[in-house]
Structure 1
């Protein structure tokens, strides 16, 4: 019997306008973005969604998203990674391939287009353009994170 891994990818909630002078990295969640993530968090809690590790971008809006998710759900560890911001799918995949094997369920919180590209690559399915606050859950069909690559996952659900 195989002990498959679970990988979820979550695009941060809706952010404030990019016209603000703080720069893109420092944008916070908008009121709507906070509401989106709170709804998602309550749904995850209701469904007893387990997260061994949240791997999150260190941009403000993803930090806020991580904080809101971790308030409602059972999270083992949280790691903020500067490299997730503006990362392309190959860079995100390298981070996943380097994960410790003791993590069975990982939630990656980041940005588009990297997250949507990664999701399409791992599932080998149609392109899903993750909207703000949208999460996709994959069952990984290999036993080690280092083996995750193209078409090694099955899309289980998309939650918005």
Structure 2
């Protein structure tokens, strides 16, 4: 499986208001999500499935990239919500093993920990930036290992 690990695009700051799970994307965030969608639209091996956290900023990122990239609408999954553990993600991804190319849209530090779990030491990025796409090739869910193909920032 090829796995595209995407951290949501830029969202509104917490500021004086407790946004929590309802922080929307900023204007820059919408542009970033559109740029990710453009990347997928031009890609030869387009994703077959997009999974997203139900948290607004991730859901908006996924919706926009799917719309722009002409992909099927994203599937909202609870396990991508803030607080996801790497072992949980690997276990949940097993339900999608029949797909060749899968996108997940989530949050930090969860995605950072997932990449640390899946990649050989030294290959994992030190930081997962907002609106970044980390592409993993040859993901083997049986032994939780993958190869880093590329990291893109939008």
The TM-score bracket by the shorter chain reads 0.7 to 0.9
Native 8 Å contact 1:51 1:76 kept in 2: no
Structure 2 vs 1, CA of residues 36 and 141 (structure 1 numbering), >3 Å: closer, same or farther?
closer
Within the candidate set 105, 112, 117, 1:109 is matched to: 105
CA deviation vs aligned residue, 1:51-110 (integer Å, no higher than 9, x gap): 11111000111111011111122435631012211212222222113x233211110100
Uncovered stretches (5+) of structure 2, i.e. residues with no partner: none
Q: TM-score, normalised by structure 2?
A: 0.87
Aligned-residue CA RMSD (Å): 1.8
Of the three residues 36, 40, 58, the one matched with 1:40 is 36
Q: Pick which of 107-116 and 66-75 moved more.
A: 66-75
CA distance in 1, matches of 2:143, 2:99: 14
Whether the 8 Å CA contact 1:92–1:114 is kept in 2: the answer is no
Decide whether aligned partners of structure 1 residues 82 and 141 sit closer, same or farther in structure 2, where only a CA change above 3 A counts.
Answer: closer
Instruction: In structure 1, list runs of 5 or more residues that go unmatched.
Output: none
Q: How does 1:100-139 map to 2 (within 5 A)?
A: 100-126=96-122, 127-128=124-125, 129-139=127-137
The 5 Å alignment of 1:8-157 reads 8-19=4-15, 21=17, 23-76=19-72, 78-86=74-82, 87-97=84-94, 99-126=95-122, 127-128=124-125, 129-142=127-140, 145=141, 147-149=142-144, 152-157=145-150
Q: Could you tell me how far apart the structure 2 residues matched to 1:77 and 1:61 are? A: 16
What SS does the aligned partner of 2:96 have?
coil
Aligned residue pairs, count: 150
Tell me the TM-score normalized by structure 1.
0.84
**Cα contact 1:52–1:77 (8 A) shared by 2:** no
Separation in 2 of the partners of 1:68 and 1:84?
A: 18
